[in-house]
Amino acid sequence: VATRSHWQADLRDAPDALVATSAERYDVAVVGGGIAGVSTAYWLHRLEPGLRVVVLEGEHLAAGASGRNAGFLLQGADPDYATTVDRLGRDVARRLWELTMETRQGLVEALGGEDVGLEEHGSFVLAGDEAEDERLQRSEVLLREDGISVFYLPPAAAEALGCRGMKGALVVPTGAVLHPVRTVHALADRSGAAIRERCPVLGVATTGDNVELRTSQGAVRAEKAVLALNAFLPRLLPDFEALVRPVRAQMLVTAPVTRRLHVPVYSHVGYFYLRQLPTGEVLLGGARHLHADAERGYDDATTPVLQADLESYLHEHFPSLAGGEVVRRWSGTMGFSPDGLPAIGRLPGEAHVWGVAGFTGHGMAYGFRTARAVAAAVLGLPDEYSDLLSVSRLSRGPHASADSSGPA
Ligand SMILES: Cc1cc2nc3c(=O)[nH]c(=O)nc-3n(C[C@H](O)[C@H](O)[C@H](O)COP(=O)(O)OP(=O)(O)OC[C@H]3O[C@@H](n4cnc5c(N)ncnc54)[C@H](O)[C@@H]3O)c2cc1C
């Protein structure tokens, strides 16, 4: 039985796609209606307003990970900056921090006041042990040297937050959270694109100067195409199995309890992540590292053992939030890249087809700004992050292996 997230619970079923006809032609077809797909459509519209763009989504907007995540806008590539500096180098770490800040700021500007549940009260990274505590202290120093203001709090202050058994905390004032499904819909509304839901793409072929997308509803032709499928890319094109690996993440939500937590929290290197909604529900995800083998693949299901670990975490570390009954559990499929960063590139041998994938559990934090780089690549325009995000970096040699970049 497929799961449905807290955010997807009150979505209506998408209407059937209009049957495509051979007369249906676009300048750009974007495949995938998650945060990456709708953001790419949005940026294509911003960069070249007259373009005719279509988004082809197999189920409904935000059906994938984009509708199932925690809605955290992580700042930087890992919950602690020292880890990013160690694995990717200082310059890349700083640029990734800027990219995620630009995502947050860009969303605020693009969505201009629309209620997408955005809360910009900062975020907390809590240390689960001494080693993580030491990395948070180092992160504070490194970030401040790089001109980014964050604050380290010692364990006693972290306890004052109401959490138990943690070491110190890093306060990140620019951290934020949002409602991911509302965000995807708001961007789709502002993209000027035609949205075709229940329209899975079954094949992609270039014929002459056109790309033909074979869908369950007929063929759609476009001059260019972008595959924004993240974890699902290898399902359409198995050659990409080495680039993006499907990894499951699970979450739960409880009935409302008195609101005590006003900021999102990451702990245990991002392997646990927790937030409380203004209406009191507690959302909690993670524990994947305790079940690494079981959490590989596309199976949309929750498991009693991992869910029990989530509940134990809540009782042990946030007892004041643990009183609500669990009212929903769900899962989603993330797409992990070899170095933990999203990758953008033209498909080999396809002059008119681009792909973006590999958000490695951080697509809400990276997606909107990354999509600008995708749109720029499609239009032949420069983007300051195109080198950082280009898939060609992976053939130049790995930055470093990254399997731990939380949350999720
Ligand atoms: C439980 C969980 C918690 C997470 N928490 C966070 C978080 O707090 N912050 C954060 O930044 N990230 C988080 N993530 C990761 C984040 O959700 C993803 O990185 C991001 O949503 C990826 O977006 P996307 O648009 O690339 O892919 P997706 O959202 O997966 O979108 C791909 C879309 O393509 C569609 N599709 C698939 N195949 C086809 C086809 N053949 N034709 C047409 N359409 C197709 C799918 O239906 C889907 O809608 C979490 C993920 C999970 C699962």
How many angstroms does the Cα of residue 157 sit away from the middle of ligand 1?
A: 35
pLDDT in tens, 39-84: 999 999 999 999 999 999 999 999 999 999 999 999 999 999 999 9
End-to-end CA distance of the chain: 21
- Which residue is associated with the tokens 């869910």? 307
pLDDT at 186 over 50: yes
pLDDT at 159 over 90: no
pLDDT at 398 over 50: no
Q: What is the rounded average pLDDT of the residues 178-185?
A: 97
CB 269 within 8 A of CB 132: yes
Cα gap 325→303, rounded to integer Å: 17
pLDDT in tens, 222-266: 999 999 999 999 999 999 999 999 999 999 999 999 999 999 999
The ligand 1 atom nearest the CA atom of 35 = 25
How many angstroms does the Cα of residue 34 sit away from the middle of ligand 1?
A: 6
pLDDT at 401: 44
Q: What is the rounded average pLDDT of the residues 164-184?
A: 96
φ, ψ at 56 (rounded to 5°): -105, 115
Burial profile 205-214: b = 16 or more Cβ within 10 angstroms, e = fewer: eeeeeebbbe
pLDDT at 19: 54
Write the Ramachandran bin of 261: left for phi over 0, alpha for psi from -120 to 50, otherwise beta.
Answer: beta
Pocket of ligand 1 (CB under 6 A): 31-37, 56-59, 63-66, 68-72, 74, 200-201, 228-232, 236, 249, 251, 285, 332, 334, 359, 361-365, 367, 407-408
pLDDT at 193 over 60: yes
pTM for the model stands at 0.96
Name the CA dihedral angle for 292, 294, 296, 302, rounded to a multiple of 10 degrees: -110
Burial profile 228-246: b = 16 or more Cβ within 10 angstroms, e = fewer: bbbbbbbebbeebeebbbb
Q: What is the rounded average pLDDT of the residues 368-372?
A: 98
In 85-238, the DSSP E strands lie at 123-126, 151-153, 169-172, 176-177, 194-196, 201-207, 210-215, 218-227
Q: Which of 177, 362, 368, 369 to mutate to test the pocket of ligand 1 (most atoms within 8 A of CB)?
A: 362
pLDDT, mean over the chain: 93
pLDDT at 367 over 70: yes
pLDDT at 402: 44
φ, ψ at 127 (rounded to 5°): -85, 125
Burial of 336 (0-12, 13-18, 19+ CB in 10 A): buried
